[in-house]
Chain A
Amino acid sequence: MSNKKKPLLQVRKLKQHFDISGKRTLRAVDGVSFDIYPGETLGLVGESGCGKSTTIRTIARLYKPTSGSVIFEGKDLANLNKRELIASRREMQIVFQDPYESLSPRITVGNIIAEPLTIFRNRKLIDIDKAGIDRKVAEVMERVGLRYSLRKRYPHEFSGGQRQRIGIARALAMDPKLILLDEPVSALDVSIQAQVLNLLSDLQEERGLSYLFVAHDLAVVRYTCHRVAVMYLGQIMEMCEASRLYENPLHPYTESLLSAVPVPDPEIERSRSRIILEGDLPSPTVKIFGCPFYSRCPRKMDKCLDNKPKLIEMEAGHKVACFLHEK
């Protein structure tokens, strides 16, 4: 479907390495490439420490990437100076995981939502007057299901689900094309989680938004995303359309990850065969020459230790980095 359109965001060979304690280097993101098309949701999944959140933060240029490019609407964000960066970030907004820590406790909700608009107005990057900002705040608050009359309240007066709506409203106020969602529902109770997921999918439909959706919950990702990329130790192991990934996973890591997710149905849950992975994630500070999944892979071969499998397109739109599938 998306092949005909031009991608909105192109991430190429993105690397984000952090120097820690002297000579060691933490390779949080280690050569990641993907595209996001207009109106599409790309899911980025993986376990803690796989680099999914760092990828989002690097795309938003909260960190300067070690190498690689992030091309958003034709401009490479990796090389822009501060002023250019701020201007080009207008159409790319971010919603964080923790609705308690990502909203300033000392600012009213109305001002939190208005703040990005105010900053752009002060820098003369958008043409909007104060009344216009108020109108915008009212519009996005109503849209996410918060009464405008609540604008003078502070974040602590809201529940977790409502706070996440505030975060979404703040992102929407800029009329973005792309919203980076960093675990947007993982801090919420299930009944509230469903409300927020439905809101996000309605907004996407109305406004043609693109999402980069980072999550560890594979069930949420299946429900939300059009395409999914599975990350492990800073690299993409498999990437394809969501339904395909869940029906026909090719990478042994994807397979075991999917089999580990519990299904809320006792009869299915008890009869499923489960691939239990041994051990834990290796340290991301150790340079790995072969496949990053080697140490835990139930189907490893000798050559996986020293040779790194490339992310190769197996079938149309289905990429996998594994020697089992290399011809």
Chain B
Amino acid sequence: MQELKIPALRNGTVIDHLPSKVTFKVMRMLQLRDYEHTITVAINLPSIKIGKKGIIKISDRYLTKEEVNKVAILAPKATVSIIKDYNIKEKIRVKFPDIIENIVKCSNPKCITNNEDVTTHFKMVSEKPLMIRCHYCERSMSREDITLK
């Protein structure tokens, strides 16, 4: 029944199982606001897996592997499906990226990136538990510390 609420996608990408509260952040992170084709967004849909979920359907655009992995920064349980002619051609499980550039803010107020106009740059140092390290100040951050720029 849920599918009826959102128009089916002919060609494009579906990002599913997003926590509702990060759905718009994912939109911002993937810079979808200026996208000229149709984007359908829904939040607070019931989900057995995560309670309430969000979904983004982007028509006529296929996310790159890098973009898919960016989703994992905010939504590690998200799934990304590539749709062609109304059929799922590929279902991709998101994977946290090894390198994160200019998306995440360093949690260290004394980091140069929070004081001068510098592109932030993090490296993943451990996947489980997730730990990323700032390229500049070397501060390690866990998932709870991660906020977007």
Whether A and B are associated in the same complex: the answer reads: no
